[in-house]
Structure 1
Amino acid sequence: MRARTAFIGLLTAAVVGTAAWLVFYSPVLGVRNVEIVGNLTVSADRIRQQAAIAALHPMATVDLAAVEHRILGIRQLATAKASREWPATLKIAVSERAPVAVVPVDGGKAALVDKHGVVIEIRAVAPPSLPVLQLGRMNPSDPVMLAVLKVVSGLPESLAGKVKTVHAGSAEGISFGLNDGRTVVWGGSDRGEEKARVLVSLLSRKADVYDISSPDVVTLK
């Protein structure tokens, strides 16, 4: 009886040990496919390369947090989420940063920034669809730039395409230069949706300056 019990114990230990080896050390349940979803402009191959997951690395021991951290080294990506899809697929869902404005940099080049002021990429020529920020300081932590980015990123598409330049002496003193030469005095970053609606309705009226800093009392000059 004791021999039988000992045998069963050894057999159980062997089964558990084999299962643990298969899951944690063996390539049998290793990563055979890395699936990338959510990318639009960043290639899946580049994300896989940045993820740096060795082929057939045991699925169970992949450090998902470390994979996400490495992937976010790609500046064009805003988020990354890695997950296991057994038996052999590692899925990586990403979202990309969207450029909302252009910041002039040395050499006449243009830095594309997202709504947080993160530089996504630098181009030789600024895209005509994005407004150029003309501020005294180009620091993402500066209250003036934060206010400007909040305003610019909140503009409706129909209005955003008309803004050529953005000026601001303070967080409450934001103004736009439109593509047709007209000027918009926007004011602060408060009541953005309301200001946008008012401005869209006013642009059909001829004027050089549209002051909507207080959308309750607008001024045209």
Structure 2
Amino acid sequence: MSGPTTADPGERQRPQGDGPARRRGPLGSTRLPRLLRAWRLLGPVRRRRLAVLVAVLVLVLGGFSGWALYGSSWLRVRQVSVTGTQVLKPVQVRAVAAVGLGTPLASVDTDAVAGRLRAALPRIDSVAVVRSWPHEIRLEVTERKPALLIEKGGKFTEVDAKGVRFATVATAPKGVPRLELATRPQGGSATSLRRFGPDRLVREAVRVAQALPPVVAHDVRLVKVRSYDSISVELTRGRVVLWGSGEQGAEKGRTLTALMKAAPHARHFDVTAPSAPAVSGS
């Protein structure tokens, strides 16, 4: 009669949780208790000495880091580089930035440098002032680009895509249309000028220029603003587009493209009401 069998000693089952699986816990679950036990075994005198030693080490490392950043010659400005300029000269940008060579790199106020550049050089749309360790300050410039030109007294004021007048030049940049504002407004034009102001009307003209379809954008010679809702565009070959206000720009652009395809020899296009456009002349 067979009774209960006993396991061979070499085949004893380990209690659940014993062995390597138990030792593979998170780092903090094994090392931290050991460190705490070791700390307690040191005794109060040794613990105080170790605490003082750690504090001194932290102070030394902090002092060394501060000296390396501000007092040593290791991390100082040796070069100021400029990228992204097209019209502006790098030497001009560096002069306005006024970052002194030999200045500790960590002490350069990047926000103040960027503010000086934007204030003194309106042609700059944005600028990033970047510390490039160990010895360089980089000025990454993005210049404004003219969308329209306002001619006055033989000179040209450049207006960007946001309607900002940022520079006056003696020679008109090639391929940039002119903007003509009503200089002697009468009736509705005078009312519109008082209500919206010249800056708003300039922005509205830029809005119209930006909405023009690519098929005609390169042929634009003049954007004429008589009032907020009376803007026209003069193209090459004597063609004129009555655009109205800057509203519904995308729809007006599609309508103008369709009109030009249907009547390629027409000279007058009216898209002020894009749902009821008109075309005339040949």
What is the SS of the residue equivalent to 1:27?
A: coil
TM-score, with length taken from structure 2: 0.68
2:84 paired residue number: 38
**177-186 or 3-12, larger mean C-alpha shift:** 3-12
1:209 paired residue number: 268
1:175 pairs with one of 227, 232, 237: 232
Change (3 A) 1:90 1:215: same
**Matching of residue 119 in structure 1 with residue 165 in structure 2:** yes
For residue 12 of structure 1, report the CA deviation from its aligned partner. 5.3
1:22 paired residue number: 68
Please provide the CA RMSD for this pair: 2.8
Higher share in helix: 2
Change (3 A) 1:103 1:143: same
User: Higher RCO, 1 or 2 (CA under 8 Å, sep at least 6)?
Assistant: 1
Matches within 5 A, 1:56-95: 56-72=102-118, 73-95=120-142
Gaps in structure 1 of 5+ consecutive residues: none
1:53 paired residue number: 99
TM-score, with length taken from structure 1: 0.84
For residue 27 of structure 1, report the CA deviation from its aligned partner. 3.1
1:102 paired residue number: 149
Bigger radius of gyration among the two: 2
Change (3 A) 1:5 1:149: closer
User: Partners in 2 of 1:207 and 1:4 — Cα distance?
Assistant: 92
Matches within 5 A, 1:142-157: 142-157=199-214
Change (3 A) 1:80 1:25: same
What is the SS of the residue equivalent to 1:121?
A: strand
State whether residues 77 and 95 of structure 1, in contact with CA within 8 Å, keep that contact through their aligned partners in structure 2. yes
2:223 pairs with one of 166, 176, 198: 166
For residue 158 of structure 1, report the CA deviation from its aligned partner. 3.9
Change (3 A) 1:150 1:25: farther
Percent identity of equivalent pairs: 29
User: Partners in 2 of 1:91 and 1:134 — Cα distance?
Assistant: 40
Change (3 A) 1:94 1:29: same
Higher share in strand: 1
2:249 paired residue number: 192
State whether residues 27 and 57 of structure 1, in contact with CA within 8 Å, keep that contact through their aligned partners in structure 2. no
How many residue pairs are counted as aligned between the two chains?
220
User: Partners in 1 of 2:201 and 2:111 — Cα distance?
Assistant: 34
